[in-house]
Chain A
Amino acid sequence: MEVTISTAELLTTDGIPLKQSLRKAERRNKLRAFLLVFPLLLFIIVTFVMPIGDMLLRSVDDSQINSVFPNTFEEYKNWDKGADELPPEEVYKSLFFELANGDKRQIGKALTRMNYAKSGWKSLIKKTTREIKKIVKKGEEPVSYKDTFIKINKFWGDPTYWYSFNQMVNDRSSIYYWNALDRTFDEDGDVVLQDEKRRMYIKTWLRTFKVSVYVTIFCLILGFPVAHLLANLPLRYSNLLMIFVLLPFWTSLLVRTTAWIVMLQQNGVINGILVWLGVISDDGRIQMVYNEAGTLIAMTQILLPFMILPLYSVMRVIPKSHMRAAQNLGAKPAMAFWRVYLPQTIPGISAGGLLVFVLAIGYFITPELVGGKDGKLIGSWIAYHLKTTLNWGLCAALGGILLGIMLIFYWLYNKIVGIDNIKLG
């Protein structure tokens, strides 16, 4: 028997193609759904996607300096470093006029950037600009621009200054990312470690990781039993307990952080009680705040609900009969827990872990307030460069690395657990 499959298009009773008719019928619904989410979509684009995109662009942007000294860079590219020790006369000439006629504010910004490439540029150019302006005022035209520069300051005869120009030639640069990892370019454009004195980011990154991992582990250890209790208590007790879990959410972050300072400081509540109990002597008060310990304690408390809630939502739906069944089948309670209960809580553990870790890695206020000198995390550096040094490129690079780490963890999580399994409540 031969089976014939009709390839003709299906028609509705009125003779219109079925698919077309369906599209028409669905169009209104689709439009309505789109209009409903449109305000949110717009909001997210304006407040989230665009700033992040701008930040990522800024982290590789190096065009400002090129717009201040366009001719100088153009001539600089012609310099054959193998043949001549110093750049050709044209480079000096272009720089002479660009310094003489340039906008003071723009040059100021460019100097900041040049100082990242090699410290000393700022004062050199400032001094030189003053001298050049004098020359121009007098209406003199130098015979050799190169000699004039070197006469003004002998550093103009030092090729290392000129070598550092090399890393500013392009509009795009990875310098900020290397800076964020304690690295810089040498005169040949190779990546090298910063001076020992200027290495601080790697240390902070490692501390940020360490603190985030510890906070995640502590939250898991403290949160798991609480979530289990919440999921298994009768409703009226578990509701009360849930309020205690959520209470910190309703208290200002600053209030909670300062409360921890009051509790933990050397003249604080905990030390006071320990001294009063005679556990420690009055001289032996423990330093629990303004260091890494303070950061760990305060962040664990603040991030704990983010671990408990996903765990609770997963545990709540695990039937109680599973533990009974496991025991009935001959497993001791510990074995039943390990083989039957724990594996079923993995979506909650990983969701809570991911949430706490990602929040911890970018945490700012709490480590800033209770962290002291050695409890500060990478967020503090971002804030410092944002507000104090105005090195937004470095800020953006630090933020970009943070974003990248989060995306890696998200990807890992999706690979291992599957993002569909995430349960947040």
Chain B
Amino acid sequence: MNDTSQSFVKFEKIDKSYDGEVLVVKNLNLNIAKGEFVTMLGPSGSGKTTTLMMLAGFETPTNGEIFLDTKPISKIPPYEREIGMVFQNYALFPHMTVAENLSFPLEVRKISKPDIKEKVQKALDMVELGNFGTRFPAQLSGGQQQRVALARALVFEPRLVLMDEPLGALDKNLREQMQYEIKHIHDRIGITVVYVTHDQSEALTMSNRIAVFNDGVVQQLSTPDILYEKPENSFVAKFIGENNTLNGVVREVNGSSCTVELDGGFGMVKALKINVNEVGEKTQLSIRPERVSIDKTTSDSNNFSGKIEELIYLGDHIRARLDVCGNKDFIVKVPNEGSFNHKEGDELKLSWNSEDVRALDL
């Protein structure tokens, strides 16, 4: 995590409540460095949009302070914050042309006419809509509107850009394409971006760091690879990527690893000790589907067997749903190498390394 002294945006002990009874954001402490692309990821109602709105100035924190460039901003109205924002449904002004939409932030800043024209054209070129200035937003496709919204958020050279689920209304292909485009624009101009989404693949694709929100609390803040490979609690493990879980009780702790006895007497599993402390504690083991091997044995004695419940052919791999140690939704991904010739109902030999099993909270 970044040093506090060089953080560009800093949330300090932020609490937020709308009704005085429920906290939608609890004790949020978050530092964002200049030029970083940070995503707030979480299910709906987890407090991520509220956090973004507090940063933009449309909501006031109930407690704590937000610093932008070391200055507290809670008392600065939104129109003086110099923060660009891309809204969920773009919020393009329908009675203005694309060029007028882009000129708007420059006109209110009383920039001279020729400068406005030049900046608007530059921003439009950046999103590859150079010839669309005279159109009205309603005459553009969803993807084009999205780009206009992006250009409008950037045209007045804000200190920071916020994006509130900007790709939610687009179809899958366009969404993926726009993810790359936004990422490339970020790489090119090096602006700080705070991005909100509930789509984990979007977060993994674009971000430098991801803050996983749940229930008003940041569950984990890390780079995408660490978040996926080393989740610190069971919520993150379940929310990011696909995840197999086995429940059990810790029987032995040995440094950074531990031995867990599975519920239902299915045997012992050696795992990494992540979010458990002592013997006798209940735990949930997390194993990624792609880390489970078939028909191999390991020295870690993590050898089990599972009955095939369902096979789904997906082209590049076959997705097998197994009944393993009482979990009937145990997923294994079998690469389609042509050597897999089992049927539904067959027993499979499974094994995994103890470093790929993480003992998390239950």
| Chain A interface residues toward B at CB < 8 A | 319, 321-322, 324-333, 335-336, 339-340, 343-344
A321 touches B79 (CB 8 A): no
Chain B 119-173 residues near chain A, CB threshold 8 A: 152, 156
B93 within 8 Å of A by Cβ?
Answer: yes
Q: How far is the CA of A344 from the CA of B81 in the complex (A)?
A: 26
Minimum C-beta distance from B226 to chain A (A): 33
CB nearest neighbor in B for A328: B85
Minimum C-beta distance from A392 to chain B (A): 48
A322 touches B91 (CB 8 A): yes
CB nearest neighbor in B for A344: B95
Chain A contact residues: over half helix, strand or loop, or mixed? helix
> Could you say which residues of chain B place their CB within 8 Å of the CB of A321?
87-89, 91
Minimum C-beta distance from A337 to chain B (A): 12
CB nearest neighbor in A for B93: A340
B91 touches A319 (CB 8 A): yes
Q: How far is the CA of A324 from the CA of B53 in the complex (A)?
A: 10
Q: How far is the CA of A331 from the CA of B96 in the complex (A)?
A: 15
| Chain B interface residues toward A at CB < 8 A | 56-58, 77-85, 87-89, 91, 93-95, 104-105, 108-109, 152, 156
* Candidate in B58, B89, B152 with the most chain A CB atoms within 10 angstroms: B58
Q: How far is the CA of A340 from the CA of B137 in the complex (A)?
A: 14
> Could you say which residues of chain A place their CB within 8 Å of the CB of B57?
327-328
> Could you say which residues of chain A place their CB within 8 Å of the CB of B104?
326, 329, 331, 339
A343 touches B78 (CB 8 A): no
> Could you say which residues of chain B place their CB within 8 Å of the CB of A319?
89, 91
> Could you say which residues of chain A place their CB within 8 Å of the CB of B88?
321
CB nearest neighbor in A for B95: A343
B79 touches A332 (CB 8 A): yes
Minimum C-beta distance from B215 to chain A (A): 25
> Could you say which residues of chain B place their CB within 8 Å of the CB of A324?
56, 58, 78, 87, 91
* Candidate in B78, B94, B105 with the most chain A CB atoms within 10 angstroms: B78
> Could you say which residues of chain B place their CB within 8 Å of the CB of A325?
85, 87, 91, 93
Minimum C-beta distance from B179 to chain A (A): 22
A330 touches B56 (CB 8 A): no
A322 touches B93 (CB 8 A): yes
Q: How far is the CA of A328 from the CA of B95 in the complex (A)?
A: 18
* Sample of 8 more A-B contacts, CB < 8 Å, known A324-B58, A339-B104: A319-B91, A327-B79, A328-B78, A328-B79, A328-B83, A329-B84, A340-B93, A344-B93
> Could you say which residues of chain A place their CB within 8 Å of the CB of B105?
329-331
Can you identify 25 A-B contacts, CB atoms within 8 angstroms?
A319-B89, A319-B91, A321-B88, A322-B93, A324-B56, A324-B58, A324-B78, A324-B87, A325-B87, A325-B93, A327-B78, A328-B56, A328-B57, A328-B83, A328-B84, A328-B85, A329-B108, A329-B156, A330-B82, A330-B156, A331-B104, A331-B108, A332-B79, A343-B95, A344-B95
> Could you say which residues of chain A place their CB within 8 Å of the CB of B95?
343-344
CB nearest neighbor in B for A346: B95
Q: What 6 pairs between A and B have smallest CB-CB spacing?
A: A325-B91, A329-B105, A321-B91, A327-B79, A343-B95, A328-B85
Q: How far is the CA of A340 from the CA of B104 in the complex (A)?
A: 10
Q: How far is the CA of A324 from the CA of B90 in the complex (A)?
A: 11
> Could you say which residues of chain B place their CB within 8 Å of the CB of A335?
108
Q: How far is the CA of A327 from the CA of B53 in the complex (A)?
A: 13
Minimum C-beta distance from B95 to chain A (A): 5
Q: How far is the CA of A325 from the CA of B84 in the complex (A)?
A: 9
Q: How far is the CA of A336 from the CA of B58 in the complex (A)?
A: 14
> Could you say which residues of chain A place their CB within 8 Å of the CB of B83?
328
Minimum C-beta distance from A317 to chain B (A): 10
Q: How far is the CA of A330 from the CA of B82 in the complex (A)?
A: 7
A330 touches B109 (CB 8 A): yes
Q: How far is the CA of A321 from the CA of B87 in the complex (A)?
A: 7
> Could you say which residues of chain A place their CB within 8 Å of the CB of B85?
325, 328
CB nearest neighbor in A for B88: A321
> Could you say which residues of chain A place their CB within 8 Å of the CB of B84?
328-329
Q: How far is the CA of A331 from the CA of B81 in the complex (A)?
A: 11
Minimum C-beta distance from B238 to chain A (A): 32
Among the listed B79, B82, B152, which residue makes an inter-chain contact with A331, where contact means beta carbons less than 8 Å apart?
Answer: B79
Minimum C-beta distance from B40 to chain A (A): 18
Minimum C-beta distance from A60 to chain B (A): 45
> Could you say which residues of chain A place their CB within 8 Å of the CB of B81?
328
> Could you say which residues of chain B place their CB within 8 Å of the CB of A330?
79-80, 82, 105, 108-109, 156
> Could you say which residues of chain B place their CB within 8 Å of the CB of A333?
79
Minimum C-beta distance from A233 to chain B (A): 16
Q: How far is the CA of A327 from the CA of B80 in the complex (A)?
A: 9
Minimum C-beta distance from B205 to chain A (A): 25
Minimum C-beta distance from B126 to chain A (A): 17
> Could you say which residues of chain B place their CB within 8 Å of the CB of A340?
93
> Could you say which residues of chain A place their CB within 8 Å of the CB of B79?
327-333, 336
> Could you say which residues of chain A place their CB within 8 Å of the CB of B89?
319, 321
Minimum C-beta distance from B200 to chain A (A): 25
> Could you say which residues of chain A place their CB within 8 Å of the CB of B78?
324, 327-328
* Candidate in A324, A336, A343, A344 with the most chain B CB atoms within 10 angstroms: A324
Q: How far is the CA of A59 from the CA of B116 in the complex (A)?
A: 60
Q: How far is the CA of A325 from the CA of B108 in the complex (A)?
A: 13
Minimum C-beta distance from A129 to chain B (A): 71
> Could you say which residues of chain B place their CB within 8 Å of the CB of A327?
57, 77-79
Among the listed B58, B77, B94, B152, which residue makes an inter-chain contact with A329, where contact means beta carbons less than 8 Å apart?
Answer: B152
> Could you say which residues of chain A place their CB within 8 Å of the CB of B82?
330
Q: How far is the CA of A340 from the CA of B85 in the complex (A)?
A: 16
Q: How far is the CA of A328 from the CA of B77 in the complex (A)?
A: 9
Q: How far is the CA of A324 from the CA of B88 in the complex (A)?
A: 12
CB nearest neighbor in A for B92: A325
Minimum C-beta distance from A42 to chain B (A): 40
Minimum C-beta distance from A91 to chain B (A): 69
Q: How far is the CA of A330 from the CA of B81 in the complex (A)?
A: 8
CB nearest neighbor in A for B85: A328
Minimum C-beta distance from B285 to chain A (A): 44
> Could you say which residues of chain A place their CB within 8 Å of the CB of B58?
324
CB nearest neighbor in B for A329: B105
